[in-house]
Structure 1
């Protein structure tokens, strides 16, 4: 009789562990970052000997496809785990090809957040990124942080939208070999 009780206990523990993993995995959803737009720096042609480029260019006055807008979603399960500390969006670039004399930086203008679901006394906000932040090729750099406060236990998700991304290209000079340079910026959301 003792053996049966131990067998039943092991079976119950296994079921309990299995159910726990199922519940945890059903709550885990991916965070999403949507990027719309694509900036191609418009660099004038030098036609006179002894001239140089302005050196720094940005997309601050861009409209249409040259305007870059970030939006996305942080799922409720992500927020429940991070309710006291928030989350951050990091960035880095991958060259295709690139010249080491050129540098990239980014800043944001605007941005809104909204909490979806039943949540008491909840607030969310976007912080940072108001000044140019150099983008690295070798390490993730924090671009903005998302702060949450309140009772987030019943929140389904938080969305962010209308983050206008201003990119800055610097180091443009006649000393940089003539070529087409491009880079892709990768944004990631992680626990803060």
Structure 2
């Protein structure tokens, strides 16, 4: 599946509505994951690290959304920019975690793909925990973090990117320029 096939689906008059999945983090919380599932107490709450430590938990969420009828599932990468991962001493794994998350989502989506109902994967890019307009981080550092995240998602095979819940216009600009 390429971006072109997603664009074809997007413009299809036969199926004008595209259904995206729901909240990855909230869905993971319903699994009552332990510190051990996250790889230790130092990583507890880092949902993005689960693609490394407990990928079956992420796969379960993807399957549930696809079985509910989602056309597009989002990668488990909302907070997988190096800027956020640094808070867990995982900044150096940003590229690989994003790539793994994309590959995992693509594998699950492929199992549900049919010509009549193609399934796609969106690379999720969240706002980070820093606001450049408030001086928490400089713009170039933020853009570089998003660029690394986008490379991992792209190399993992996402069909599209989704920049989510940004409150700061500079975050959005950095994410879009990073892509």
Looking at secondary structure, tell me which structure has more helix per residue.
Answer: 2
Higher relative contact order (CA 8 A, sep 6+): 1
TM-score (norm 2): 0.28
TM-score by length of 1: 0.27
Which is strand-richer, 1 or 2? 1
